[in-house]
Structure 1
């Protein structure tokens, strides 16, 4: 095989290789939208916030998944960004939260579903599972406890947008 062809083949194989653990360690999530202050979330910035751990199990297309996930409550992130600062009566209940993965997969939650005074569902932005950092494939992952299926547990979150 000519040198140019071997070089091109090596480049294509490297480009198609999965993300490394270093990529997972440097994963970022953009927090944006109306009624909040934009922010960029990283594993390091999440480490300084109150931590929540959840034992969850849910069904996936590959079978049952179980684990103890650790991370920060989604409500805590939104509250720190200002979702609760409003002038209207329970104005935060008019908001929705769109969580989008890097692959384009997106799930919509209502603010009332996770607000402590209302639904109080402890949805977290997870950084680890069973005491180990999440893989590069998972990146930072939204975990929804109590769901029978894992379809709302978005992997490799890229953006959390408040509408």
Structure 2
């Protein structure tokens, strides 16, 4: 009897642990880029970390650490800086989460020549890795009134022209 109970508990544990094990550990950057990227923890460690403090749904301020999103896009060859003008201003970044949730950013929202707002791809909150339900990667938008574009469990980023 004990053997059957142990097997049942192990089976239940394996089903509840699977979402955390299969959670995406990489992010694909594609679309209107010159160098498609696959981002993982090792890639992010090579870039300069940035911190952003924002109030979360719990009403408390939290400090998120990650990489400025525009730096990642620049490494992928996305049109930013002086080239972000004319037709290129119709480009946008589509970010997708593991559950299919998607958000959009105009490239001008990410470019320091257009805005002082900081938008990062975070992998830590308050000095700790993001919780499994939030990470391993999350977009954090500084000073945005609603957290709807602070997308959790990011799996893909695609740059497109508006059609």
Would the TM-score normalized by the shorter structure come out above 0.5?
A: yes
Q: Secondary structure at the match of 2:59?
A: strand
Q: Secondary structure at the match of 1:77?
A: helix
Q: Secondary structure at the match of 1:147?
A: coil
Q: Which runs of 5+ in 2 are unaligned?
A: none
Give the structure 2 partner of residue 126 of structure 1.
Answer: 122
Residue 130 (structure 2) pairs with residue 161 (structure 1):
no
Q: Secondary structure at the match of 1:64?
A: coil
TM-score, normalising length from structure 2? Answer: 0.81
Q: Secondary structure at the match of 1:17?
A: helix
Q: How is 1:1-163 mapped onto 2 (pairs within 5 angstroms)?
A: 7=7, 10-17=10-17, 19-20=19-20, 27-58=25-56, 60=57, 63-84=58-79, 90=85, 91-138=87-134, 139-163=136-160
Query: Residue 70 of structure 1: CA displacement?
Result: 0.6
Distance 1:151 1:44, change over 3 A: same
| CA deviations over 1:55-111 (Å, ceiling 9, x no partner) | 1114x3xx424210010111111111111379x772542210011100111101100
- Report how many aligned residue pairs link the two structures: 157
State the distance in 2 between where 1:53 and 1:39 align.
23
1:125/1:142 contact within 8 Å kept = yes
Distance 1:5 1:129, change over 3 A: closer
State the distance in 2 between where 1:48 and 1:79 align.
14
Q: Which runs of 5+ in 1 are unaligned?
A: none
1:31/1:40 contact within 8 Å kept = yes
Return structure 1 stretches of 4+ with deviation > 6 angstroms.
3-6
1:36/1:162 contact within 8 Å kept = no
Distance 1:8 1:89, change over 3 A: closer
1:114/1:120 contact within 8 Å kept = no
Query: Residue 11 of structure 1: CA displacement?
Result: 2.8
